[in-house]
Chain A
Amino acid sequence: AQSVAQPEDQVNVAEGNPLTVKCTYSVSGNPYLFWYVQYPNRGLQFLLKYITGDNLVKGSYGFEAEFNKSQTSFHLKKPSALVSDSALYFCAVRDNGSGNTGKLIFGQGTTLQVKP
């Protein structure tokens, strides 16, 4: 079965420090991976995605993610965290077992808390 895991419910980091939000996946076939961010009482905003090619994907707001096929991971990173980055982050993978429906499977979310 296709699945996504975000092993940390919460990540705490000091402003200015690098941050990493972890994601591992399990899919059949080629993985298509996404990161979204949800600010309080808002919808999800797309950050970046991996389709193919370069393992380091750059996205919005200075975020990037590293695809690692051998470790089946797609960790989200940022070199220098801002207080305004505090939000709920979701990793998602396309469900390759559902035909061409665009169905995404989401991880359980990781709350990022950036302290001044």
Chain B
Amino acid sequence: DTAVSQTPKYLVTQMGNDKSIKCEQNLGHDTMYWYKQDSKKFLKIMFSYNNKELIINETVPNRFSPKSPDKAHLNLHINSLELGDSAVYFCASSQYVGYADTQYFGPGTRLTVL
């Protein structure tokens, strides 16, 4: 059974479109995260939700909007896609928002904006 899953795995779209990426975890964790990995493999946190409450909101364009309908799901909606949004987006989850709680990552969604 997949612990943290994301759909779709690949997403190719045109500039200006709106798209969503979905994430689900079946680990019973309270906290979920979105990361962006750029073309140089650099990883950066974007958002985090704990029990459906937003707790991390990094300097991300407001075209990006996370939504957490319940503890097991965290979706990422992106409006007016730009070329620079092309990246791999990873979802992750952890049991708690703890000092050293391990984060478990999904397989990633490769977004290509043409």
Give the distance to chain B from A77, nearest Cβ to Cβ, in Å: 20
* Chain B proximity mask over A78-112: 1 for CB below 8 Å, otherwise 0: 00000000001010001000101111101011000
Is B102 among interface residues, defined by CB-CB distance under 8 A? Answer: yes
Give the number of chain A interface residues (Cβ < 8 Å): 25
CB-CB under 8 A for A100 and B97, given A42-B107, A42-B108, A43-B108: yes
Query: Shortest Cβ distance from A94 into chain B, in angstroms?
Result: 6
A102-B31, A102-B94, A102-B97 known; A46 vs B45 contact (CB < 8 Å)? no
Instruction: Determine how close the nearest CB of chain B comes to the CB of A48; give it in whole angstroms.
Output: 10
Closest A residue to B45 using CB positions: A103
Interface string of A34-75 (1 = CB under 8 A from B): 101010011111100101000000000000000000000000
B114 at interface, CB cutoff 8 A: no
Count residues on chain B whose CB falls below 8 Å from chain A CBs: 29
Contacts of B104 in A (CB 8 A): 46
Closest residue on chain B to residue A90 by CB atoms: B43
Q: Would B105 and A100 count as touching, CB distance under 8 A?
A: no
- In angstroms, Cα B41 to Cα A103, docked, is 18
B107 touches A51 (CB 8 A): no
Q: List 6 A-B contacts (CB under 8 A).
A: A34-B102, A42-B108, A43-B105, A46-B102, A90-B43, A104-B45
